[in-house]
Structure 1
Amino acid sequence: MTPATTPTWLKAAPALFLLLWSSGFVVLKVGLAYADPLTFLAVRYACVVLILAPLMLLMRPPLPRGAREWGHLAMVGLLLQAGYFCCTYLSLKWGMSAGGLALIASLQPILIGLLAPVFAHEQVDIRRWVGLGLGVSGAALVIVAKASIDVLAPLGLLFAVGALLCITSGTLYEKRYGVQTHPVTSNLIQYAVGLGVTAPLAFWLEPMRIEWTGPLLGALAYLVVGNSLIAITLLLTMIRHGEASRVSALFFLVPPCTAVFALAVLGEPIPPLAWPGMALAALGILLVTRTARAQPK
């Protein structure tokens, strides 16, 4: 979109997205102490659907036009809500450390940069490649300094790679085939797809343990509203209005921001090596997202 047609509020979207997405990992850690991973995810999606369904009836937003638009929305839900989050939760369940999972997920902007010219018709110049390299180096420094990288669990590693491929595919698919429709409509379709996948998996793979405690309810409320309703909507909107390689570069700042939230909420210290990693990640983001100056005619 041209600057004239881009909503003004979208300028604040990257900062708000990072705030909600990064803090979500800390909140998720609290919630998983009281529930099995896929069971917790299925309950989260069920709550989102229960919120959106009455809104759909009251607001009556436009429905997708034709089977193709329905299919595109469902595919994004399958890749992001079902694929990415299921693989993330299962990776943790099968022995992958949070640091190892975050390191693999931080490779997403590199994959986007490689694949965007083919699937999203975007060109990634040298300046942005330098930024992507600095970003992934900074994210890796933060993760290595903060947590041990345990990749000795083959199944956990497999699910972590699956999560990386799902969010990369979902980002590129949304950029190329994204449907311009009301957020209530698109979110309801995508989370219904996610619930339809996660609930049977939870029933099949887990005893479906869940303890209805205050911390679990608080974590569930935050993830439902902050992550599922607001952060995902911001992410998909930014992808539609911008370049996929620029938007995906925001994920370089997720490990540093998560480390800061973990310090504030859980009291987890930030090692000295993590601070230069944060600076590198921020510099990489600056190079990737900076718009080149227009040449005078």
Structure 2
Amino acid sequence: MIIAIMRPPWPKSSRAVFHISVSGLLLHGLYLGGIFSAINLGMSAGIAALIVGIQPILSCLFAKKMLDETMSRFQWFGLILGFLGVGLVVAEKIFAFKFGQDNATVIAFVAIAVSLIGISYGIIYQKKYCAGMHPITGTSIQYASTFVLLFVIALTTENMTIQWTGEFIFALFWLVGVLSIGSIFILMYLIQHRSMSSVTSLFYMVPPVTAVEEYLIYNQSLTSVALVGILVVAIGVIIASKK
């Protein structure tokens, strides 16, 4: 409907459509699909956040190789400091985790590794090959290619039964409206106009914000270690964003 009203331009070549589709598979299919699968297979949110927290560092390494973007030692210090802050924020959940002996746990770690590679390389791929795409038509192509992949996986692994509860409807609205539309559009804008260090370092803020939301909504404890971690993350992001 938005496309019909606004009539934004579509990619002008099949090559551009291909690159946009690949970017969508990396950013949405592998990243989001991998992290949701890992949590569904029993991985705690803290472990998942810590592993995916390596993403800013890994993306900047990819950026140096693929985009020839250089970072100062000061910015690298900020990235490492931000990762350490994430570790402090999720420390309580990490210590509560017990590595299981079943295959599900191993598969969960495989899924989160796929997620990490997807987001780390996907952001670089997006900036290198899809910088000129229109955010509306471009993300439409990305979601279409991701739908094909995940639908095939769902047909082979799920019973395709949906339980329509209030919680599910709210979660679906949040994932579609806030995550898939709001945050992704912001991410696309940042990738086009900011350096990799300033974009990827913002991902460090996800665990701190989640911890604060859990405290406000679910009344979960917010330890002094987590509070220190939030401060460390904020300082790390500020440093990594500066030249």
Asked whether the two chains share a fold, i.e. TM above 0.5, the reply is: yes
- Tell me how far apart the structure 2 counterparts of residues 171 and 287 of structure 1 sit (CA, whole Å): 20
**Alpha carbons of structure 1 residues 130 and 55: separation in structure 2 relative to 1, 3 Å:** same
Q: Is residue 2:12 matched to residue 1:65?
A: yes
The match for 1:93 is 40
Aligned positions of 1:45-56 closer than 5 A: 54-56=1-3
Aligned positions of 1:26-37 closer than 5 A: none
Amino acid at match of 1:113: C
Task: Say if 1:110 and 1:132, in contact at 8 Å, map to a contact too.
Answer: yes
Q: Is residue 2:180 matched to residue 1:233?
A: no
Aligned positions of 1:1-297 closer than 5 A: 54-147=1-94, 148-152=96-100, 153-290=105-242, 292=243
- Tell me how far apart the structure 2 counterparts of residues 247 and 179 of structure 1 sit (CA, whole Å): 14
Amino acid at match of 1:88: I
**Alpha carbons of structure 1 residues 180 and 287: separation in structure 2 relative to 1, 3 Å:** same
Q: How much identity, in percent, do the aligned residues show?
A: 33
Amino acid at match of 1:243: S
Deviation of residue 192 (structure 1)? 0.8
Q: Deviations over 1:228-283 (max 9, x none)?
A: 01101111110111111220001111111110011112222212211111111111
Task: Say if 1:96 and 1:150, in contact at 8 Å, map to a contact too.
Answer: no
Deviation of residue 210 (structure 1)? 2.1
Deviation of residue 286 (structure 1)? 1.0
Task: Say if 2:47 and 2:93, in contact at 8 Å, map to a contact too.
Answer: no
Q: Which moved more, 1:166-175 or 1:80-89?
A: 80-89
- Tell me how far apart the structure 2 counterparts of residues 163 and 259 of structure 1 sit (CA, whole Å): 21
Amino acid at match of 2:69: E
Deviation of residue 149 (structure 1)? 3.8
Task: Say if 2:86 and 2:233, in contact at 8 Å, map to a contact too.
Answer: yes
- Tell me how far apart the structure 1 counterparts of residues 159 and 222 of structure 2 sit (CA, whole Å): 36
Deviation of residue 167 (structure 1)? 0.3
- Tell me how far apart the structure 2 counterparts of residues 156 and 241 of structure 1 sit (CA, whole Å): 34
- Tell me how far apart the structure 1 counterparts of residues 93 and 37 of structure 2 sit (CA, whole Å): 22
- Tell me how far apart the structure 1 counterparts of residues 111 and 15 of structure 2 sit (CA, whole Å): 30
Q: Deviations over 1:201-250 (max 9, x none)?
A: 11211223421112211121121111101101111110111111220001
What stretches of structure 1 of length at least 5 have no aligned partner?
1-53, 293-297
Task: Say if 1:109 and 1:132, in contact at 8 Å, map to a contact too.
Answer: yes
The match for 1:16 is none
- Tell me how far apart the structure 2 counterparts of residues 131 and 144 of structure 1 sit (CA, whole Å): 20
Residue 79 of structure 2 aligns to a residue whose secondary structure is helix
What stretches of structure 2 of length at least 5 have no aligned partner?
none
Residue 273 of structure 1 aligns to a residue whose secondary structure is helix
- Tell me how far apart the structure 1 counterparts of residues 99 and 216 of structure 2 sit (CA, whole Å): 27
Residue 84 of structure 2 aligns to a residue whose secondary structure is helix
Amino acid at match of 1:171: I
- Tell me how far apart the structure 2 counterparts of residues 269 and 207 of structure 1 sit (CA, whole Å): 37
Q: Deviations over 1:19-65 (max 9, x none)?
A: xxxxxxxxxxxxxxxxxxxxxxxxxxxxxxxxxxx222332211101
Task: Say if 1:97 and 1:151, in contact at 8 Å, map to a contact too.
Answer: no
